Structure 1
Amino acid sequence: MPITLTVPEGLLSSQAQAQAFAGLTDAVLDVAGLTGNTFMTANVIGTINVLPAEHVLAAGKPVAAAFVELKLPEIALATTEAKRAFIEKATDVVERAAEGRIKREHIWSNIVYAPEGAWGIAGQSYSNADLVGAIQNAAAS
């Protein structure tokens, strides 16, 4: 389940970037109730985009900001409560990692869903039922 963290240069050190990404990974697994599930843990992936400071904008002007995007299959984090919990946890993670160099109101998050059958892992297309099965098989082993 890809996570994309986008920040301007200088906002997070390399160590803070790694800590933030680990925290975002933990947040999605925790909110989904899948902490420790080997299938899901291995498939929480992503990128950290560090852009020139003048390329990170709010209200059309450069700003110390962070953007978190989480892509999931339709079945994951389907409730409003789960979405809110992830967004709150993600914001906390980035705010801590920035150590005061960012205002909380400059941390934006969004969650996007892949349609049924449009989730691919290792060249295999997974339906929602296939994903649930893989998650349950990993929990049983």
Structure 2
Amino acid sequence: MPITLTIPEGILSPAAQAEAFAGLTAALLDVSQLSGNAFMTANVVGSIHTLPAGHVLAAGKPVDAAFVELKLPEVALATAEAKRAFIEKATDVVEKAAGGRIRREHIWSNIVYAPDGAWGIAGKSYANADLGESIARSAAPDNA
């Protein structure tokens, strides 16, 4: 479940970038009620994109901002409440990691969905039901 954090260079130190990404991962697992699920935890992946100063824009002008994009299977975070909860938590995480260098109103998030069967892990295509089964197997008492 890739998370992409895009920020301008110099806004977050390497330690703050790691803190932010760990926080975004925890936010997704928490909102999904999958904290501690080995399958899901191992498959929350992503990247941090740092762009040169002046290459992050709002209203057509350079700004110190952050963009959080979360890609999921269609069935994940399916409710409006879950989406709102992730976006709120993600914004809190980035705002805290930025330590005042990014204003809250300059943190944007979006969630995009992969169609059923278009999710790949380790070369295997997963349908939504397959993902659900893998997550459930990982949560089984003998796998804990």
State the TM-score bracket (shorter-chain normalisation). over 0.9
Aligned twin of 1:81: 81
Give secondary structure in 2 for the equivalent of 1:41. helix
Residue 137 of structure 1 deviates from its aligned partner by 0.3
- Taking only the aligned residue pairs, the percentage that are identical comes to 77
| Matching residue of 1:60 | 60
Residue deviations 1:10-29 (CA, integer Å, cap 9, x gap): 11000000000000000000
What TM-score, normalized by structure 1, do the two folds share? 0.99
Aligned residue number for residue 36 of structure 1: 36
| Per-residue CA distance 1:17-70 (angstroms, 9 max, x = gap) | 000000000000000000000000000000000000110000111000000000
The gaps in structure 2 that reach 5 residues or longer are none
Say how many residue pairs are matched: 141
List gaps (5 residues or longer) in structure 1.
none
Q: Structure 1 runs of 4+ off > 6 angstroms?
A: none
CA distance in 2, matches of 1:16, 1:42: 21
RMSD of aligned residue pairs (Cα, Å):
0.3
Deviation track 1:64-94 (CA, whole Å, cap 9, x = no partner) reads 0000000000110000000000000000000
| Structure 2 length-normalised TM | 0.97
Which residue does 1:129 correspond to in 2? 129
